[in-house]
Each structure stands twice: as C-alpha cells, then as structure tokens.
Amino acid sequence: MDYRQLGSSGLRVPALSFGTGTFGGEGPLFSAWGQSDAREARRLIDICLEAGVTLFDTADVYSNGASEEILGEALRGRRGDVLISTKTGLPMGDGPQDWGVSRARLIRAVEAALKRLGTDHLDLLQLHAFDASTPVEELMGTLDGLIAQGKLRYAGVSNYPGWQLMKAQAVADRHGWPRFVAHQVYYSLIGRAYEDELMPLGLDQGIGALVWSPLGWGRLTGRIGRDRPIPAGSRLHETEQFAPPVETQHLYRVIDAIEIVAAETGRTVPQIALNWLLRRPTVSSVIIGARNEEQLRQNLEAVGWSLTPEQVAALDAASEVLPPYPHTPYRQQEGFARLAPRAV
C-alpha cells in the first residue's frame, strides 16, 4: 500500500481507506448500503489491515451512530494500529441542538463519537456539511480547543463551498489556530466538478482530498453499461434519489471508455475507475466501501499498478464536461486558457 501525506499535514494516510457506511444498516438509505454487524466488520477490517489499509472513515449519522459503535467494537484491541476518521454536523435528532457545529453541539458530538467508538481521541474529525448558522470564529476556536485537549488530532471538512473553506483557513491563520487539512469530496470519472474550484483551492491551501463514492454511487461497478440497465438486485433502485446526478449518455460514454481500458489491462471496471483517481492532484486517499469480502478484495487490487498516459488521456477525454460559469470561458477561449490553465 502506498502512503501519502494528508494535504500539507504530517499525517500519513493510505492511498485507499475504508468507509464504514455499510456497518449497521439502519434506516432506508443505510440499510440499502449494507448491514454488516461487528463480526463481519471485524473480518473486513482484518482484510484491510492485511493490505495496509489503516484509515477507517465513519460518521455519526451513519445508521444513527451504529456504524461508529460497530467500528469501535471491531477495532477493540488494535486502536494503535489504525486511524479513525468520523464526521459530524448533520441532524442527529429533531431538536434545535441536534444539528450543526455550534460550540455546544460540536463538543457534545465529539464526546458522543468518542464513547461510541470506544476511544479517547479521533485522528481526524470532519464537518459533514457547511453550517451557515455558526460563526466561523466560534467553529475554529472550538476545534482549536478540542485539539489542545487531545480529543482530536486533525480537522477537516466535507462537501464544503470553496469560499467558506477559504474563509475558515484565513480565520485560523489570523488567530494561530490549526487549519483544515482534509476535504472529503465526491469525485469520480462521472463526477469531476471537484476539479473546477475545490481542487485548485486544495493545491493552494495544502488540503488533501479524501474521495467518497469513487465509483459514482455504484454506477461504475461494471454491472451497468450501454446495453446493461441497472440490475434487479442493485442498491441503486433504493438509493439513486440520493445520488449525485449524471446524464445517462455521459455515463455510458464514460463506461465505454473504462471498458476498453479494462480489456487492455485485464483489470475490472472498478479497478480502472479507482486507479484513475489515485493519479489526480490533491487526492490523499480514496475511500472504498464493501458489503462483502469479495467486493473488498476486488477494490483493494486497484493499487500496485498504473494506467498508461494514453489510457489516462482516453479516460480524461470521455469523462470531461464543461464546467459552470465562471469557469467555462477558461476552457473554451484561447486567451482565457493562457491566463488560467487548469490545475490538472
């Protein structure tokens, strides 16, 4: 397993990490993702550790805390061998103090996560979404206090607007507080919007990307194609309403290109999609998930080899789309392109 720096921090993370959204299986979304109990979770974690995957990502909202509980139980006795990342900020109840990242909510959420995970510290805490109701000074000051107390090692965000992330970095610099070092983002061959603004920001600010849903919400598993509609047993039937959208013909163009490269390399469609991401700027770790041992072992084989420059170019061309304004002119007009070349 290749290990990389998480942004400009000193934390080294594996190129592939494991997402535990499949642990617990509570609620309409997470039950469709997977329903691993502690025994199965321990087996999947065993396989990850054998392959050098040492970072495990969860969130308090995953199965209403059950994912954190199962992960903590499965890691019992080997906490020193792993890194734990969790997220908070999304609603955990109907009360006014059950959502967001105010000082009171954030402290309470961290304490609850530590208890569910059975640990005294989090290696990485990520804010699951931007909370416009909490002043950025309150947020960054609270994170500074939690880090000073040893309850957190590093802080990051997830699904954040670029201007708010930059504002938070500026506030941290002004007060001498720890900066965000990670951004957990949706990024895949069928979802490259991350490249337009957030990737250049990450390059400039030393923020490493932790990629969620690298297979495009299950669309790049090899089971779907131009002549292969969503199969009967696919979780997409229950979860597509929650998925980042993709235009059907664009999806098929990308899958066609992946399948050509897969045939050339003898690799699977998911392995091609994952390997392509591992080459992208700012990507510190790609979060893989699995409902069973077979899926996990297949995804783990996405490392240890490289696509050729010609194969990367073919995948780039098939998956590229024009970005929204104001980025569009920089891709379409020669003068603009010379002023502001792309980051990738």
> pLDDT tens-digit profile of 149-172?
999 999 999 999 999 999 999 999
* 110, 152 Cβ separation under 8 angstroms: yes
Average pLDDT, integer, range 88-114: 95
Q: How many CB atoms lie within 10 A of CB 222?
A: 18
How far apart CA 257 and CA 319 sit, in angstroms, is 9
Distances (CA, A) of 283 to 88, 134, 220: 22, 29, 19
Report whether pLDDT(342) > 90.
no
**Where residue 234 falls among pLDDT bands split at 50, 70, 90?**
low
Q: 17 has which bridge partners?
A: 287
Radius of gyration of the chain (CA): 20
For the chain, percent of residues with pLDDT exceeding 90: 79
First and final C-alpha spacing in the chain? 24
How far apart CA 194 and CA 178 sit, in angstroms, is 24
Distances (CA, A) of 261 to 189, 267, 306: 13, 8, 12
Q: For CA atoms 334, 335, 339, 340, give the dihedral sign.
A: negative
Main-chain phi, psi angles of 113, to 5 degrees: -65, -45
Peptide bond before 326: cis, by omega within 30 degrees of 0?
A: yes
Category of 207 on φ-ψ map: left (φ > 0), alpha (ψ -120 to 50) or beta: beta
Query: How confident is the model at residue 237, as a pLDDT?
Result: 46
Mean pLDDT, rounded, of the chain: 91
How far apart CA 242 and CA 212 sit, in angstroms, is 14
Active-site positions?
62
